């Protein structure tokens, strides 16, 4: 009775977890890069939008390597 609904729900949960797992890698690397810069340069103040740019840069580099 519930097989079709549960199958649909399981598929979507799998897809969403795959996307979240894929996004967490560049986020981790981008924030690590920002933390290393903050450690090496005490005058640098980490700002959220700069961290986002690091994440985009890491994602772009991974994309270029894959292409």
Q: What is the pLDDT of residue 57?
A: 95
Query: What percentage of residues in the chain have a pLDDT greater than 90?
Result: 87
Residues, the chain: 67
The mean pLDDT of the chain is 93
pLDDT tens digits, residue range 30-48? 999 999 999 999 999 999 9
What percentage of residues in the chain have a pLDDT greater than 70?
A: 100
* 27 close to 55: Cβ distance less than 8 angstroms: yes
pLDDT mean over 6-30: 92
pTM of the model: 0.72
């Amino acid at each position: 009775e519930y097989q079709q609904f549960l199958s649909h729900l399981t598929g979507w949960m799998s897809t969403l977890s795959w996307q979240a797992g894929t996004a967490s890698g560049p986020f981790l690397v981008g924030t690590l890069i920002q933390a290393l810069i903050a450690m090496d340069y005490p005058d640098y103040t980490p700002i959220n939008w700069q961290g986002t740019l690091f994440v985009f840069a890491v994602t772009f580099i991974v994309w270029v390597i894959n292409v």
